[in-house]
Amino acid sequence: MELRLNSVSHAYGHTEVLRDITLTIPEGQIVCVVGPSGCGKSTLLRMIGGLERPDSGEILQVGAPPAGCLNPLTYVFQDFALLPWRSVEGNIALALEDHRLGRTRERDIVAGVLERTGLSDFARALPRQLSGGMKQRVAIARALAVNPAVMLLDEPLSALDAQTRELLMDDLVTLWTRTPFTAVYVTHNLAEAVRLGHAIVVLSRRPGAVREVVEINQPLQNRNATDPALEARREHLWQLMRDEARAADAELAHA
Ligand X SMILES: Nc1ncnc2c1ncn2[C@@H]1O[C@H](COP(=O)(O)OP(=O)(O)OP(=O)(O)O)[C@@H](O)[C@H]1O
List binders of ligand X among 110-139 (CB under 6 A).
none
**Binder among 7, 37, 56, 221 for ligand X (CB under 6 A):** 37
Residue 76 near residue 152, CB atoms below 8 Å? yes
Contacting range for ligand X; rule: CB under 6 A; set: 38-46, 58-66, 115-123, 230-238 = 38-46
Beta-carbon neighbour count of residue 28 at 10 Å?
14
Contacting range for ligand X; rule: CB under 6 A; set: 32-40, 118-126, 175-183, 235-243 = 32-40
Residue 79 near residue 111, CB atoms below 8 Å? no
**Binder among 19, 41, 195, 223 for ligand X (CB under 6 A):** 41
154-193 footprint of ligand X as x/- string (CB under 6 A): ----------------------------------------
- Tell me the longest C-alpha to C-alpha distance in the chain: 58
List binders of ligand X among 205-244 (CB under 6 A).
206
39 binds ligand X (CB under 6 A): yes
**Binder among 3, 38, 143, 233 for ligand X (CB under 6 A):** 38
CB of 36 to ligand X, least distance (A): 7
In order of 64, 193, 228, the CA distances from 148 in angstroms are 11, 21, 34
**Binder among 24, 42, 71, 174 for ligand X (CB under 6 A):** 42
Residue 245 near residue 203, CB atoms below 8 Å? no
| Cα 125 to the center of its chain, rounded Å | 25
**Binder among 21, 29, 31, 40 for ligand X (CB under 6 A):** 40
Whole-angstrom Cα distance, residue 156 to residue 147? 18
CB of 191 to ligand X, least distance (A): 16
| Cα 205 to the center of its chain, rounded Å | 20
Whole-angstrom Cα distance, residue 137 to residue 200? 23
Cα angle: 145, vertex 110, 97; to 5 degrees: 70
In order of 48, 157, 206, 227, the CA distances from 222 in angstroms are 30, 21, 34, 9
| First-to-last C-alpha distance (Å) of the chain | 41
CB of 5 to ligand X, least distance (A): 15
**Binder among 3, 17, 141, 172 for ligand X (CB under 6 A):** 17
Contacting range for ligand X; rule: CB under 6 A; set: 22-30, 37-45, 217-225, 242-250 = 37-45
Site size toward ligand X (CB under 6 A) is 12
CB of 235 to ligand X, least distance (A): 21
Residues of this chain that interact with ligand X (CB under 6 A) are: 12, 15, 17, 35, 37-43, 206
